[in-house]
Chain A
Amino acid sequence: MKKAIITVVGKDTVGIIAKVCTYLANNRINILDISQTIVQGYFNMMMIADMDSSLKPFGEVVSELEQIGEEIGVLVKCQREDIFDKMHRI
C-alpha cells in the first residue's frame, strides 16, 4: 500500500479538517488514521492516508493540498510515508 502522511499546521479555525477530508474523499484517497492536537491556539494535525486508489498522481495531490492550505491560511504538507519510516525505524 502506498501511504501518504498529510500534516496541517497553523492557527486554528473552523472547517480545517472538513476541507482537507472533502478533498481527499473527492479524490478517492482513504484516511487510515488521524491524530490532532491544539497547542496555544495552534492546530497540529497528522493524517495517514492510502494513496492506492487516488484519482490523481502524487505530485498533483501535493500541490492541490498546498493550495487548499493557502486558502484556509494553514500549512498543509503531503509527503510519502517512507521518509518518516526510514528515518525513525530501523
Chain B
Amino acid sequence: MINLFEVNETNKMIEKENLDVRTITLGINLMDCIDSDLKSLREKIYGKITKAGKHLVSTGKDIEKEYGIPIVNKRISVTPISLVGGDACKNSEDFVTLAETLDEAAKKVGVHFIGGYSALVSKGMTKAEKDFICSIPKALSVTDRVCSSLNLGSTKTGINMDGVRLMGDILLETAKASKEKDSIGCAKLVVFCNAPDDNPFMAGAFHGLSEADQVIHVGVSGPGVVKNALEKVRGENFEVLCETIKRTAFKVTRVGQLVAKEASKRLGIPFGIIDLSLAPTPAVGDSVAEILCEMGLEYAGAPGTTAALAILNDQVKKGGVMASSYVGGLSGAFIPVSEDQGMMKAVEAGALTLEKLEAMTCVCSVGLDMIAIPGDTKASTISGIIADEMAIGMINQKTTAVRIIPVIGKGVGDSVEFGGLLGTAPIMPVNTFSCADFVNRGGRIPAPIHSFKN
C-alpha cells in the first residue's frame, strides 16, 4: 500500500517543483468537412470542432481536481487547413475566414489554443497552399487562439527552398501585422522539418493525416522536478546523474499516462500518445537551463552545454518510454529562450548565442524556439536561419523547428515582454553577413543519402 513518504514526495513535486501536465490536446480530423462551398465548409468545421471538443475543458478540470494535478492547457489540433480548405478557398482572404472559424470554435469550447492552421509543403506547393501561406500574417493578426505551422522539409523529401524563401517574408509580415504587440504573431507560427503528426504542443500541433478521426494526446512537463532530484546528487558521476534523470522522468511520465488514459476514458476518445517533454515556463524553478546548470555548467551556453543537453534529452526518453504505452510528438527537452528564466539569464550574461542554440538543437527537441531577433533583420537572413535548422533535421532524421520573432522597432540591447507563458526575451544579435544569393536560388534541396553516416 502507498505510504506517507510516497504521497508526500508526489505532492511536493506538484506543490513546490511545478510538476504539471502541460497539455491535453484533442486532435480532430476535418477531412470529412471538405466542401467546395466556403460557407458550408465553415459551418461543418465549426460544427465538428464544437461537438467533439464540447466536454474537453470540463473533463480536464475534473481530472485536475480529483487527482490534484494541474493541467495547464487544454487545446485542439485539426487537420492542416491548407488541405481542408484547398477546394473552397480561391484566395488568401478565403483562408483567413477559416482561421476566424477556428478561432470562434476555440473560444466556444474554451480551449487556450487551436493548432492546425498548417500546410505540409516539404517538397512542393500547390496554388492553394501558396495562397494559404500568404494568408498567415493576416490570419494570425485577426485571431487570438489560432496557431500556424508549416512543414518545409523532411529526411525523405529534402527541403522545399521556395517555401523557406517565402517564409522569410511571411515571418516579417506576421511580425509587422502585430508590431503594436511586440510582433507576438510570430509566437504563434512555427516551421518544421520532419513535423510529427501527433504533436500536442503549440504552436506546432496539427492533426496529421495518419491519425484516427479523433484522438487524445498529452504533453507532460516537469523541469523543476528533474532539477530538484539532481540537487541531491551533486558531484556524483555520470552513471548516478543519468539514473537520477531516468527515474525522475519515469515518475513524471506516469502521471501523464494516467491523465491521458483517464481523459480518453471519460471523453470516449482513443488515447494517442504521450509527448515526453521537459517544457519550461517563465516561472522560477521551471527551467531547463537550470537543469543544465545543476549538471555543472555556470550558464547554459558554456562549453559542455551540448553534451549536457544530449544526456538530459536521452535519459528523459529512456525513463519516459517505459512509463508510457505510446510515445510520440516532439518528446525531448525544449529550449525556448523567452519561456525559460535560465535561458534568459544566459543570454543576458553573454553566455548563450544563436549559434550555440543551433548546435543544441542537434541533440534535443525541437529547435530555435521563442528567440527574439532585431526587427530590421533581412527576410533572406531569416530564410537562411530556417534553412540551417531544416538541414540539421533533414540530415539527422529528427524533428527541428524555428519559431523566431523579429521584433519590429527593436534591436539588440532591447528586450520584449510577451506576457504569460510566453515570457520575456532579450533581443539576440543575428549574424548579418548576407546569404541572399544562396536563398534566392529557388527550387529544393534533394533528399539526403542514408548511408555513409559520418
Chain A residues with CB under 8 Å of chain B are 5, 7, 33, 35, 37, 44, 46, 48, 58-59, 62-63, 77-88
Report whether B251 and A87 are in contact in the complex, using a CB–CB cutoff of 8 Å.
yes
B66 near A62: Cβ-Cβ < 8 Å: yes
For the A-B complex with A77-B68, A82-B67 known, give 8 more contacts whose Cβ atoms are closer than 8 Å. A7-B8, A48-B1, A59-B65, A78-B68, A83-B258, A86-B255, A87-B6, A88-B6
User: Residue of B at shortest CB range from A59?
Assistant: B65
Q: How far is the CB of A67 from chain B (nearest CB, A)?
A: 13
**CA distance in complex: A7, B251 (Å):** 20
> Shortest distance in angstroms between B77's beta carbon and chain A's nearest beta carbon?
26
Q: Which residues on the A side are within 8 Å of B6 (C-beta)?
A: 84, 87-88
Known contacts A59-B66, A77-B68, A80-B66; is-contact A33 B11 (Cβ 8 Å): no
Contact assessment for B10 and A88 in the assembled complex, using a CB-CB cutoff below 8 Å: yes
Task: Specify which of A44, A63, A79, A88 is in contact with B68 (CB 8 Å cutoff).
Answer: A79
Q: Which residue of the partner chain B has the closest CB to A77?
A: B68
Interface string of B65-84 (1 = CB under 8 A from A): 11111000000000000000
| Contact partner, B11, options A7, A37, A63, A85, Cβ 8 Å | A7
Shortest Cβ distance from B70 into chain A, in angstroms? 12
B230-264 near A? 1/0 per residue, CB < 8 Å: 00000000000000000000010011011000100
Number of interface residues of B (CB under 8 A): 22
From B65, B254, B262, give the contact of A87 (CB < 8 A).
Answer: B254
Contact B66 A44 (CB under 8 A): no
User: In whole Å, how far is B228's beta carbon from the nearest beta carbon of chain A?
Assistant: 15
Number of A-B contacts (CB under 8 A): 62
Which B residues fall within an 8 A CB radius of A?
A: 1-4, 6-11, 62, 65-69, 251, 254-255, 257-258, 262
17 residue pairs A–B, Cβ–Cβ below 8 Å: A7-B8, A44-B4, A46-B3, A58-B65, A58-B66, A59-B66, A77-B11, A81-B2, A83-B255, A84-B10, A85-B2, A86-B254, A86-B257, A87-B10, A88-B2, A88-B6, A88-B9
Contacts of A83 in B (CB 8 A): 10, 67-69, 255, 258
Complex: how many Å from CA A46 to CA B231?
Answer: 27
Chain A residues whose CB sits within 8 angstroms of the CB of B251 once the complex forms: 87-88
State the Cβ distance, B249 to closest chain A Cβ, in Å.
Answer: 12
| Chain A proximity of B10: nearest CB distance (Å) | 5
Contacts of A37 in B (CB 8 A): 4
| Contact partner, B4, options A46, A77, A82, Cβ 8 Å | A46
Q: How far is the CA of A77 from the CA of B66 in the complex (A)?
A: 10
Report A69 CB to chain B, min CB distance, Å. Answer: 13
Is B255 within 8 A of A87, CB to CB?
yes
Give the distance to chain B from A8, nearest Cβ to Cβ, in Å: 11
User: Nearest 7 pairs between A and B by C-beta?
Assistant: A79-B68, A86-B254, A88-B6, A86-B258, A84-B2, A83-B67, A46-B4
> From residue B166, how far is it (CB to closest CB) to chain A in Å?
46
Assess whether A33 is in contact with B255, with CB atoms less than 8 Å apart. no
Q: Which residue of B lies closest to A63 (CB)?
A: B65
Identify which of A44, A78, A79, A80 contacts B8 (C-beta below 8 A): A44
Cβ of A46: which chain B residues have Cβ within 8 Å of it? 3-4, 7
**Nearest opposing residue in chain A for B63, CB measure:** A80
Report how far A57 CA is from B27 CA in the complex, Å: 29
The answer for the CA separation of A29 and B68 in the assembled complex, in Å, is 19
Task: Tell me the bound Cα distance from A77 to B356 in angstroms.
Answer: 44
Query: Which B residue's beta carbon lies closest to that of A81?
Result: B2
Whole-angstrom distance between the Cβ of B327 and the nearest chain A Cβ: 16
Specify which chain A residues have a CB less than 8 angstroms from the CB of B7 in the assembled complex.
5, 7, 46, 84
CA distance A37 to B4 in the complex (A): 9
Query: What residues on A are CB-neighbors of B8 within 8 Å?
Result: 7, 44
A61 and chain B: residue at smallest CB distance: B66
| Separation of A83 and B251 alpha carbons in the complex (Å) | 10
Contacting residues, chain A, for B258 (C-beta < 8 A): 82-83, 86
**Bound complex: CA A80 to CA B68 (Å):** 8
Please indicate the chain A residues that have their CB under 8 angstroms from the CB of B69 in the complex.
83
B251 CB to closest chain A CB (Å) equals: 5
**Which of B3, B257, B262: most chain A Cβ within 10 A?**
B3
A37 (CB) vs chain B CBs: closest residue: B4
